[in-house]
Chains A and B, each alone.
Chain A
Amino acid sequence: MANVKLTNVKKVYSNNVEVMRDINLDIKQGEFIVFVGPSGCGKSTLLRMISGLEDISSGTLEIDNQDVTQVPPSLRGVAMVFQSYALYPHMTVYDNMAFSLQIAKIDKKEVDAQVRRAAEMLQLTPYLDRLPKALSGGQRQRVAIGRAIVRRPKVFLFDEPLSNLDAALRVATRMEIANLKESMPDSTMIYVTHDQVEAMTLADRIVLLSAGNIEQVGSPLDLYANPENVFVAKFIGSPAMNVMPCIVETAGENTQIKVANTFSINTPIASPAGDSGKPGFFGVRPEDLALAQDGEPALLEGEVSFVESLGEATLLYITVPGLEEAVISKQQGTLQIQKGDTIRVTAVPEKLHLFNQDEQSYRCL
Chain B
Amino acid sequence: MVTSNKGSALNLVVHATVLFLVIMWTIPTAGLFISSIRDKDQLSVSGWWTALSASEQQKVYRTAGAESEIQENGVYVLRGNLLEGGSGEVTKFGISSLKPEAFAPGQEAKSRRDVRFKVMENGDYEVISEKSFRRGVRIFYTAEIPPRFTLDNYRTVMSSEGLGQSFINSLTVTIPATVIPILIAAFAAYALAWMKFPGRALLIAGVVGLLVVPLQMSLIPLLTVYSKIGAFFGVDAKGYVGIWLAHTGFGLPLAIYLLRNYISGLPGEIIESARVDGASDFVIFRKIILPLSFPALASFAIFQFLWVWNDLLIATVFLGNTEESLVLTGRLRELLGSRGGNWEILTASAFITIIIPLCVFFGLQRYLVRGLLAGSVK
Contacts and interface: CB of A to CB of B under 8 A. Distances in A.
Direct contact of A and B (CB under 8 A): yes
Interface of A: 51-53, 73-75, 78-80, 82-90, 99-100, 103-104, 147, 151
State the main secondary structure of chain A at its contact with B: loop
Interface string B268-281: 01101111111100
A32 B244 CA distance: 58
A82 B291 CA distance: 21
A88 B274 contact: yes
A78 B276 contact: yes
A103 B279 contact: yes
Contact of A53 (B267, B275, B279, B292): B275
B272 A82 contact: yes
Given A78-B276, A100-B278, 9 more contacts: A73-B276, A82-B269, A82-B273, A88-B270, A90-B292, A99-B279, A99-B287, A104-B278, A151-B277
B225 interface: no
B288 interface: yes
Contacts of B279: 74, 99-100, 103
B137 interface: no
28 contacts: A51-B276, A52-B276, A53-B275, A74-B275, A74-B277, A78-B276, A79-B276, A80-B272, A80-B273, A82-B269, A82-B272, A83-B269, A84-B269, A86-B267, A86-B269, A86-B272, A88-B273, A88-B288, A90-B288, A90-B291, A99-B277, A100-B278, A100-B279, A103-B277, A103-B278, A103-B279, A147-B273, A151-B277
A73 B284 CA distance: 14
A103 B274 CA distance: 10
A80 B273 CA distance: 7
A88 B290 CA distance: 12
Contacts of B270: 86-89
Contacts of A53: 272, 275-276
Contacts of B269: 82-86
B208 interface: no
A53 B276 CA distance: 8
A291 B279 CA distance: 62
State the main secondary structure of chain B at its contact with A: helix
A147 B277 CA distance: 9
A151 B269 CA distance: 18
Contacts of A82: 269, 272-273
Contacts of A84: 267, 269
B273 A86 contact: yes
Contacts of B272: 53, 80, 82, 86
Contacts of B70: none
B320 to A, nearest CB: 44
Contacts of B52: none
B183 interface: no
Contacts of A100: 277-279
B283 interface: yes
Q: Considering the complex of A and B, which 7 residue pairs feature the smallest CB-CB distances, nearest first?
A: A74-B278, A100-B277, A86-B269, A86-B273, A82-B269, A90-B291, A73-B276
A182 B76 CA distance: 117
Contacts of A89: 270, 292
A97 to B, nearest CB: 10
A143 to B, nearest CB: 12
Contacts of B273: 80, 82, 86, 88, 147
Contacts of A147: 273, 277
Contacts of A90: 288, 291-292
A147 B276 CA distance: 11
B275 A73 contact: yes
A88 B278 CA distance: 14
A79 B274 CA distance: 10
A215 B272 CA distance: 29
Contacts of B278: 74-75, 100, 103-104
Contacts of B283: 103
A257 B328 CA distance: 96
Nearest to B277: A100
Contacts of B275: 53, 73-74
Interface in B58-80: none
Given A90-B291, A90-B292, A103-B283, A80 B276 contact: yes
Nearest to A81: B273
